[in-house]
């Protein structure tokens, strides 16, 4: 059964990791479009300010202080949504944190802690969302935020890549099971490329230089656009930025070439030119600073929406435009012959 998803303006949306970065931008954009919000994160002060901000602008929102690595905390998010709004229509699993360091240097406890947030948080959130959709017998949307590093691993962020590979596998398996049983639940996996968020500042660093993205970096608004579109339209995958799709394709077609390119590119492109913060100064075990949408990266930071996301949203229009431009180029070339 195909899910019949409501327009965003009529939805109640749950967002984890809502106190900064992608989650923060998604919450603000969803509120602007009329959605009611249930916002979750570990930073209570940031959540309080965000909810007050949304309410001052005429929106409706509530918050839950929750560590998504704890199943009972995730279930409390769902319970709050039911108590406050009678339920929810979309659940966005966005919370995440990273570690920058070589495979042999990162401690096993740090690896396990990251998996609690990045992987188990998605599992707990997915199960809570699906359970409520089924109990209420409604169509719903589950949106899991993966990564282009979940399609192709790179050096320096081994644990993060591994956790996102796990998220991708979980999401694909869950989608197939729900579809096979005819459940009217849309399951979307978001594949962001490099995004300008405080992700690098919240990460635990084992590196000599401060983690940062270099090269082309997309805005968090581009990811939020994909997330919110998926809340109201059934999509299997949404790649944010051409770089995300290109890396997935290249890694599948020519893995050894991709290995070699990554060995050259991964180390310099993931570190800034300043010393790394203290290893204890991060958000792996404790809440990071909140209400910051952007990070401290060094690169070409694009603003606004991703053209690739727009093409995914409206594929027929995109194909028609490409065919039209190709026809025009062919006509022009022949007219000059």
> CA angle, corner 94, sides to 289 and 96, nearest 5?
55
Characterise 312 by phi-psi region: left (phi > 0), alpha (psi -120 to 50), beta (else): alpha
The token duo for 199 is: 């992700």
Measured distance CA(102)–CA(40) in Å, rounded: 31
Measured distance CA(27)–CA(6) in Å, rounded: 17
Catalytic residues: 160
The token duo for 323 is: 């065919």
Strands (E) in the chain, as ranges, are 12-16, 36-41, 61-65, 90-93, 99-100, 140-145, 185-192, 204-205, 209-211, 214-217, 237-240, 271-275, 298-301
Characterise 76 by phi-psi region: left (phi > 0), alpha (psi -120 to 50), beta (else): alpha
Three-state DSSP class for residue 328: helix
């Amino acid at each position: 059964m195909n899910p019949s998803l409501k327009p965003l303006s009529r939805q109640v949306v749950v967002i984890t990791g809502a106190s900064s970065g992608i989650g923060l931008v998604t919450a603000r954009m969803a509120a602007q479009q009329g959605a009611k919000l249930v916002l979750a994160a570990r930073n209570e002060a940031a959540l309080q300010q965000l909810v007050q901000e949304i309410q001052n602008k005429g929106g409706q929102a509530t918050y839950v202080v929750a560590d998504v690595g704890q199943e009972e905390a995730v279930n409390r998010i769902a319970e709050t949504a039911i108590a406050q709004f009678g339920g929810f229509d979309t659940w966005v699993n966005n919370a995440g944190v990273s570690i920058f360091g070589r495979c042999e240097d990162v401690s096993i406890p740090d690896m396990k802690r990251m998996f609690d947030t990045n992987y188990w948080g998605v599992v707990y959130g997915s199960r809570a969302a699906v359970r409520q959709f089924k109990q209420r017998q409604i169509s719903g949307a589950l949106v899991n935020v993966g990564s282009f590093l979940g399609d192709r691993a790179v050096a320096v962020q081994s644990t993060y890549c591994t956790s996102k590979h796990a998220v991708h596998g979980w999401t694909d398996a869950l989608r197939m099971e729900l579809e096979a049983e005819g459940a009217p639940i849309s399951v979307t996996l978001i594949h962001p490329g490099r995004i300008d968020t405080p992700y690098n500042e919240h990460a635990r660093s084992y590196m000599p230089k401060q983690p940062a993205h270099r090269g082309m970096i997309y805005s968090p608004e581009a990811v939020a656009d994909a997330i919110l579109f998926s809340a109201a339209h059934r999509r299997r995958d949404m790649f944010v930025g051409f770089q995300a799709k290109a890396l997935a394709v290249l890694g599948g077609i020519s893995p050894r070439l991709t290995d070699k390119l990554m060995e050259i590119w991964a180390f310099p492109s993931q570190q800034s030119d300043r010393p790394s913060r203290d290893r204890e100064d991060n958000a792996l075990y404790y809440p990071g600073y909140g209400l910051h949408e952007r990070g401290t990266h060094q690169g070409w930071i694009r603003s606004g929406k991703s053209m690739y996301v727009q093409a995914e949203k409206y594929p027929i229009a995109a194909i028609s435009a490409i065919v039209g431009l190709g026809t025009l180029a062919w006509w022009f070339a022949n007219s000059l012959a």
